[in-house]
Structure 1
C-alpha cells in the first residue's frame, strides 16, 4: 500500500512539474535528447490524427551555430506554421510564440529571453503560426473558418502539430511546454489558458489584447475620432506629445518620491491639458491650442457614450504621450492615423455577420451601448476575457501577466482588471498561487519607451514551472536609447516590410538604467541613496489596496 501511495505521489508531482526532473529554485537540469529519425523523414509524418485536419508538411535542415530541422506546414484549410527542432542537444522543452496585430505573418519571436539558456543556446523547440491567413489586413474576415482560426484554432492546432512532430523526431513528448506572446500574442496566450489549459505548462501574456472587440473598435476608433478635425486632418501632432509628456512628468513624476523621468503608478495621476494653453501664438512642442487641448483631454478620458458611460475598461495612462506618435498621432496634419486603420479593419471585416454594407469610419461608428451589445457574438469568439482559469490552475499551470504603464495601444488597466476578476472568480489566494503580474513604469507597447523594458521573462517563467521558484521581482534594463516605436501588435520589432517612412521618428538618447519591477501590487521605491539608474538603489513597497475591477459598460459580463 505504501509503495502504491509513493508511486501515486510521484506521478502527481511529475504531472504538476515537481517531479525528479525539476529542481528547487531554478530551471531544471534536463538531459539532452537526440533525434531518433532523419529530419527529412518528418515530411512524411501523418499529423491529421493530432490536428483533426489534413496537414501537409515540408522539412529541411538549417545549418549554422545552432543547427535545427525546420518543418513548415499547412493545417487545412490555411493555417501556416513553422517548427524548429534542434538537431542536437534538445533539452525536452517546447516554446511557442505569439503573433501580433491581426497576424497574417509567420515569425518566431522568442523575446524577453535574457538569461534563459534553453532559448539562447538553441536547445528548445520553437514554433509559431500565421493563424490561418496572410497579410495584416482584415479582408479574410469574410470566411467564418478563418475567423475561428484567428480567434483560437490556429494557435491550438499549431501546438498539437508541434508536439506530434516532437514525439516523432525525438521519440518522446516535451517535458515542459511554454507559450509567450505580446499584444494579440498576449490575447492568444490567455486564450490558451482559458480554452485549452492542457496545451502549456507555463504562459507569459504581455500587454494582452484580451478585450479584443472593444480594443479594436471603441478604443482605437475613439483615439482616431477625437484626434481628427472637421477638415479631416490630425489635431495633435508629434511635437505636441512632447509638451503633454513634460506636463505629465511635472504633474506626477515625483509622486513616488523621486523625479526620475518615469511615473511609477500613473493611476493616481491627473493631467489637465488646459494648463499648457498657448498665451499667444502656438509654439510647437511648448503649448497647445484649445482644439489640441480638447483632443488630449478626450484621449485621457477614454471612449464614452454621449451620456458619459465608459465603453472600455480604461484609457491610456499619463506618461505614455510620446509613445502616441505613429499610433494615433502623426507627424504632420496629413499623416496617417494608425488607429483609424486598426479600427476600420476590425469593425468592417471581423465583428459582424454580414459585414457592414457601408463601411464605418471613426467619425460614423456609433459609440453607443447598443453597438457594444451588437458586438457580443464577436466578443464571445475573439476576446480572451474569461476569468475562470480553474482548469489551467488544476493542471499545475503558471501564468505571468506583464504590461508597460506607457503602452500607447492597450491600456494596462485591462490587464489589472483581468487579474482582479480572476481573483474575484477563484479567490485571491488561489489566484496568487499560479499568477504573477508585473507592470513596467515608462515602458511602451511590448518594448521601448522611457523606462526599462528588457527583463528575464522566459527565464523566470521556466524557473517557476520547473523549480517552483515564483518570481517576486524582475530586474529590468534600459539600453542607451529608447525603442524606435513598434507597430500595433508586433512584439519585438517592426512589420517585416517595415513601417511607412517617417512614421516612427528618431527617439532621444537616454542613459542606461536598471530597476527592479516587483510582482503586483508591490512597487519599487528609492532607498534615498545611490545612483537612481541602478536597481540596487531601490526596495519593494506594498502599495495601498486598489480595487482594479473597472466600472464600465462591460463590467459584470
Structure 2
C-alpha cells in the first residue's frame, strides 16, 4: 500500500496528505497590564481564589462573535464534559470567519483566573489542545486554566490552502490572535469577570505563533513560552529541508545514508566531543565547541564495514552539518544546521529507514514552497531548487507575513510581558542556532539589560524537536513564567527529567506537537525514540539512565560538582558561560525590527 493511499484512508487529501499525519504528532478586549498579586510561597506564583461559573455552559452558544471575526463567526457547540485533568469543563467550539476553528475549555469550579492558549505544529490544520513545557505544573494539574487553541484557519496540512491570501493571513497571524480575543469574550460571559493573567505556550509552529503574539499583539498575553520556534518559516521550510533532502539523495533517486548507520556516526561524535562540557555522559552541552570531521568515520583498509561509513555516507553527514552556500560567493543560505550530538534524531526526518523510502524533508519542502512561500509558485519541488542568493531573495518575499523574527519587543516588555525561549540541542527539524540568533538580536536591539529584564533562553542537551531524544526532556517552564509575571521572580535553573510517559510524535504525554516520523502503519513508520526502542532497521541502543539535570539560562551550562550521583540534578551547579557565535548568513537582516504585512 502506498503512503498516499494510507493517508487517504485516514481521511487526508491533497499533495501534503502525509505531511498532515507526520506533523500532527507536530480580543479586541484589550487586556490591561497585569495587576499585582501577592505571591504564594517560594515559587512566586500568585495565590488566586478559584472562581466558579456564573452562567450555564449552554448559554455560551449564544455569545456573539461577529464583532470579533466578522459575519459568519459563530459558536458551533457548548457542552459540559470532563477535561484532561478530570475536572468538569464547558467545552466550546466555534468558527471565526471565514474558517478559523477554535476550542476553549472553561473549568466550571476550578478556574484560578488564568487563561492559557496553546499552539499547534507543522502547518496546523487540526484542532487539539496540548499543554507542553508544563510537566508537573500545579495549575495545569489542578485544572486552574481556561485553555484554548486554534486550527489556524484551515483543515488538514495540505499546503494548498496557501493559494488563498485570506487563509495565508489566518495561518500567519490572524488565527492565533482572534482565538485569544474570542476566548477572553467567553471567559467574561461564563464567569462574569475577565482573566487576571494570560499565557501562551507553543512549540515548533506553536513557537512561531508565540513570537507572533509577542511581536504583533503584545496586549494579548502576560507570559509566553516559545519552544523550538519555526520563526524562520520561509527559509526553514524551503532551503533548509530542501538541502537536507537533496544532500541525502543519490543519482538513482534513493537515499544514501540510512538510519541503521546513524549510531556509527553518533558514537564517533560522542567520542570526539562528549567530554568538552566537563562530563562524559552521552550528552553534548556545548556543540559549538565540537570539532568533528565525518571523514574520520570512513572505513579504512580491512575495517569491518558494519563499524564505519562509506565515503559517500560521510559526505552526506558533512553536508547536513554544513548547510547550503551560494556556489559563487560562499555565502551561507541558512543560519545553522543540525548540531553535533543530534545524529540519532535524524532518523525519519532526512534519513529514512530504507533507500526506497521517501525523505521526510522532501515532503516538508515540497508541501510548503509552491503554495505558501514562493509568490509565483516556483520552485515547487526539491529537485528544482537552486541553492544561491537569487533563490534566497525570492523566497523571502513573504517573510514579513509568515516569519516572527523581529527583535523589537518594546511594546510587550513595556506592558510587563515575560518571554521564555527553549530549544533542544539535538533538534533535527529546526536548528537551535535560529533561536540563539533571535536571543542575540533581542540583546542587540533592546540592550542586554532590557532584554534580561523580560527574556530567558534555555538550551536542553540531548533533547530533540520539542521533546524526546537522549537527554532529559520533561520539564516545567509554565510555572517559572507565571512566577515571573505574577510575583516578579525571574527564573534561573530549571530541572529537566527523563520522561516517564510514552512519547509519540513529539508528544510527551499531552505535550508539544512536533514531527518525529511517519504515522503508525505508513511505510517507514517507526516507534517513538526513547520510549519504545530504536526505529526499525537500527541496531539496539543501550538504554540511558533515568536522570535529572538543571539547565541554566543561556549562555551558562551546568557543571558536575564532582560529588554525588551524576544522574541527579542536585549534583550539578552553574558552570561557565559558553557563547555560540552565530555566523553571518544571507538572512542576517531578517533578525531586524520590521512591521509585518497583512497580505
> What TM-score results when the alignment is normalised by the length of structure 2?
0.86
Q: Is the 8 A contact 2:348 2:517 kept in 1?
A: no
- 1:328-343 equivalences under 5 Å are 328-343=350-365
Instruction: Specify whether residues 203 and 548 from structure 1 end up closer, same or farther in structure 2 by C-alpha distance, changes over 3 A only.
Output: farther
Q: Count residues in correspondence.
A: 540
1:59 equivalent to 2:78? Answer yes
Instruction: Specify whether residues 133 and 172 from structure 1 end up closer, same or farther in structure 2 by C-alpha distance, changes over 3 A only.
Output: same
How far apart are the structure 2 equivalents of 1:539 and 1:41?
53
1:344 equivalent to 2:378? Answer no
Question: CA offsets per residue over residues 177-236 of structure 1, 9 Å max, x none?
Answer: 100000110000001000000000000000001110000001000000000001000011
Task: Tell me which residue corresponds to 1:555.
Answer: 588
Task: Tell me which residue corresponds to 1:211.
Answer: 232
Q: Is the 8 A contact 1:480 1:510 kept in 2?
A: no
Deviation at 1:261, TM superposition (A): 0.3
Task: Tell me which residue corresponds to 1:516.
Answer: 550
How far apart are the structure 2 equivalents of 1:496 and 1:21?
48
- Structure 2: 5+ residue runs without aligned partners? 1-30, 528-532, 535-540, 591-599
Q: 2:335 aligns with which of 313, 329, 336?
A: 313
Q: Is the 8 A contact 2:342 2:427 kept in 1?
A: yes
Q: Which stretch shows the higher mean deviation, 386-395 or 41-50?
A: 41-50
Task: Tell me which residue corresponds to 1:191.
Answer: 212
Deviation at 1:50, TM superposition (A): 3.1
Task: Tell me which residue corresponds to 1:4.
Answer: none
Q: Is the 8 A contact 1:51 1:160 kept in 2?
A: no
- Structure 1: 5+ residue runs without aligned partners? 1-13
Instruction: Specify whether residues 335 and 501 from structure 1 end up closer, same or farther in structure 2 by C-alpha distance, changes over 3 A only.
Output: closer
Instruction: Specify whether residues 502 and 354 from structure 1 end up closer, same or farther in structure 2 by C-alpha distance, changes over 3 A only.
Output: closer
Q: 2:158 aligns with which of 137, 158, 163?
A: 137
Question: CA offsets per residue over residues 304-358 of structure 1, 9 Å max, x none?
Answer: 22132111111110000000001010011111200000011111110123323xx
- 1:37-436 equivalences under 5 Å are 37-57=55-75, 58-63=77-82, 65-280=86-301, 286-307=307-328, 308-356=330-378, 360-436=380-456
Q: Over aligned residues, Cα RMSD in angstroms?
A: 2.2
Q: Which stretch shows the higher mean deviation, 469-478 or 43-52?
A: 43-52
How far apart are the structure 1 equivalents of 2:154 and 2:517?
16
Q: Is the 8 A contact 1:420 1:547 kept in 2?
A: no
How far apart are the structure 2 equivalents of 1:35 and 1:481?
33
Instruction: Specify whether residues 152 and 480 from structure 1 end up closer, same or farther in structure 2 by C-alpha distance, changes over 3 A only.
Output: closer
Instruction: Specify whether residues 493 and 547 from structure 1 end up closer, same or farther in structure 2 by C-alpha distance, changes over 3 A only.
Output: closer
Q: Is the 8 A contact 1:239 1:284 kept in 2?
A: no
How far apart are the structure 2 equivalents of 1:494 and 1:253?
24
How far apart are the structure 2 equivalents of 1:251 and 1:231?
33
Q: Is the 8 A contact 1:202 1:461 kept in 2?
A: yes
Deviation at 1:408, TM superposition (A): 0.6
How far apart are the structure 2 equivalents of 1:36 and 1:481?
37
> What TM-score results when the alignment is normalised by the length of structure 1?
0.93
Task: Tell me which residue corresponds to 1:28.
Answer: 46
How far apart are the structure 2 equivalents of 1:366 and 1:301?
17
Q: Which stretch shows the higher mean deviation, 182-191 or 520-529?
A: 520-529
